[in-house]
Amino acid sequence: MVTYEEFLKENSEIKELKYIKFGKSKVSSYEKSYKVAIEGNPKEYLDIADKATSLQGIDIDVVQTKESMEGIREFVKHCREDVKISNSIGKCNKEEFFLGEEIIESVVKEINPEWTAKQKLAYVHYKMGELVSYLPDYNFNNVVPYPDAIMDSRNIWKGLATKQAVCNGITAIQRNILSRVGVETQDLSSGTHSFMLTRTEDGNVITDATWDLAYTYYGIRPQHFGLSYENFRQKDGNVSRAHKLENPPENVITIEDEELRNIYQSIGSFGPDRKFNSKLPLITGNLNTQYPANLNDRITGLMEAFNTEHKDKLSHLEEFKTILVTALSLIHANIDNEHLFQQCIYSKEDSNFTNPKLITKIIGENQENFMYILDPKSKSLEQTSLEELRDKYNYHKNNTLEPFWNKEIDKETSEISRNDVTKE
């Protein structure tokens, strides 16, 4: 056991111990007056945790073994109650840290140590849809709606405790879990987006659990698992640079549909029918049968189905945004961007813009409008009107766009005025 006095003597440049880092990452020269990196067993440093009354934060490398995390948990237990824990970016408190650890440990217990790296990766990738939702990160004039929440959502344990994360937080959670079960991973970052490379027995596998959250949350086959780098870039389209890397990884293998289904069947994710467990195709198929000639009835039926069969899923705002596009295509409503509008909105009573809701507007046949508000807190999907939107809702304060409902109300008013003039 290293005593606090011995530790200070060994690190004589420390004026006041404010931060400790666990892992192999080095402490920069300008940090050395208040921060120390520890590579050894954290349990050997519990005297420091007990006596370092000035300790404000603990920084933990994303990649840790199961044994090292056991030691880190013990160290954190001995620290002052207001200490903050980070994984280089984002912070959480002790309560969130231990809740996050409890969740991670439960996932680790579900993973068979005899599984291959591919099987372990597949299990964790699919599990992410259950563990977190994507935190709405709308950027207006280069200002995010709530920067503190966005930053902390990149923290492994905060993301799990709140069930909200963004891309590099989601990658960090996966990497931390997989490192505890002996799987080697690497963060891939384009500068605007984070995804992951995993080393397997057959070669490197690229996955993007963030882009797959809607599919794994709704129990649908992952769409961004085991693609080649070139295929990921094709999915980006002509505008997005989400997966563009200066130095693309080498030895990347592609996992075709047959192998992917074999992997998921081998880890018990579905039965002998080799089908994923989503009810969505069944629901949409029924709508096509019930209303074969009426698109508008199919749209109404689809939204009603979300409010009943999938009501438990309506707490995830971003995942609903993504899956709705898939669902509309399944009912043969191949609606283009001009006929599908989705926007994060806030109640006028929500002056701090902390509870985002989602307005969805669909233009069906004969220009019929369908407008619904998704409230993730109450898990409700309710129809609305232009007047209700005008009276009760705003865009975020950083969004300089005029709310679409104002324009449409002005348009309707102008048309009524023109009709009155014509009658006269």
Alpha-carbon gap, residue 89 to 9, rounded angstroms = 29
pTM, two decimal places? 0.91
> Where would I find the beta strands (DSSP E) of 232-321?
none
Report the sign of the C-alpha dihedral through residues 399, 215, 229, 166, in that order: positive
Q: What does the pLDDT average to over 313-325?
A: 94
Average pLDDT over every residue of 95-102: 98
Determine the pLDDT at residue 180. 98
The string of pLDDT tens digits covering residues 189-211 is: 999 899 999 999 999 999 999 99
Q: Which two tokens stand for residue 53?
A: 């009354």
From residue 292, alpha-carbon distances to 296, 332, 333, 368 in Å are 11, 10, 12, 18
φ and ψ at residue 390, rounded to 5 degrees:
-60, -40
Residue in 331, 277, 276, 345 with CA at minimum distance from that of residue 303: 331
pLDDT of residue 424: 53
- In order of their start, the domains of the chain are 1-82 (no CATH), 91-276 (3.10.620), 280-420 (no CATH)
pLDDT band per the 50, 70, 90 thresholds, residue 277:
confident
Question: Which helix (H) or strand (E) covers residue 295, if one does?
Answer: helix 295-306
Instruction: Average the pLDDT over 358-385 and give the result.
Output: 95
Residues 395 and 343 sit within 8 Å (Cβ to Cβ): yes
Mean pLDDT of the chain: 91
Whose CA is closest to 332, among 374, 277, 290?
290
Confidence (pLDDT) at 421 = 47
Q: Is the pLDDT of residue 115 over 90?
A: yes
